[in-house]
Amino acid sequence: MSEKIAFVTGGNRGLGFQTALELKGQAKVVIGSRELKQGEEALKKLRAAGVDADVLEFDVTEAKSRQAAYDYFHSKYGRLDILVNNAGVAAGKFPGTGPEHSATEVSMEVLRKVFKTNFFAQVALTQKLLPLIRKSPAGRIVNLSSILGSLTLHADPKSPIYHAKSFAYDASKTALNAFTVHLAYELRDTNIKVNSAHPGWVKTDMGGPEAPMELSDGAKTSVALAMLGNDGPSGGYFHFREVLPW
């Protein structure tokens, strides 16, 4: 089977949908959608645009859902070539201010909620699907991070994100970046490449209408990392072709 098989979580809208759209002609794309009805509506749009796509009812935070995803790809394809860990949440209005964004005031409830989706669930899903990715001739794992996960830039008063602090979200993306580094190291002698992608500040439900980037550009980094050649990097942190500091 020469066709690449891709799984994009949170693929029914925003960056996930755009990523699936941009993979047209490059892979068979399965989008994961927490609400099946919304996923089916997105699927119609993808197919109308010429994308070879399917939809899977999927909640990344649920163990039974992760197992169902494994069973689906195992029974239907026997492998998985591309995993785009796109699903994620923010804390309250994002970007924004308030106790939910503050390191001194954020509640443990908010921290746990954000980390559950943005970090723990991503690790759990990747571990669950890794046996299938190992069967791919060119496995690719793309973790949707953010420039807001960069400790280097957050600590630099001269950086553009110095004042853009949202503790729960930022820390969850920093943790996800650590997973990228560690997983890439463990898989360094395999044909699997693992990278973190910063899509940019994009006009999505999370990014808001004031974001400077259009959705059409937001998926470009993820797609490029998903389609890396054998000589491509692994264990990196990218926005377009720019390497970001951890």
Task: Note whether 80 and 120 are within 8 A (CB).
Answer: no
Rg over alpha carbons for the chain, rounded to the nearest Å, is 17
| Tens-digit pLDDT profile for residues 109-159 | 999 999 999 999 999 999 999 999 999 999 999 999 999 999 999 999 999
| Tens-digit pLDDT profile for residues 28-70 | 999 999 999 999 999 999 999 999 999 999 999 999 999 999 9
Domain boundaries, the chain: 5-88+126-147+172-238
Q: State how beta strands 242-243 and 82-85 pair.
A: unpaired
Please state, in angstroms and rounded to a whole number, the distance separating the CA atoms of residues 172 and 191: 27
Q: Tell me which architecture the domain covering 5-88+126-147+172-238 has in CATH.
A: 3-Layer(aba) Sandwich (3.40)
Q: State how beta strands 82-85 and 5-9 pair.
A: parallel
Predicted local distance difference test score (pLDDT) of residue 240: 86
| Tens-digit pLDDT profile for residues 161-171 | 999 899 999 99
Which token pair is 133? 């990715």
Cα 134–196–163 angle (5° rounding)?
Answer: 160
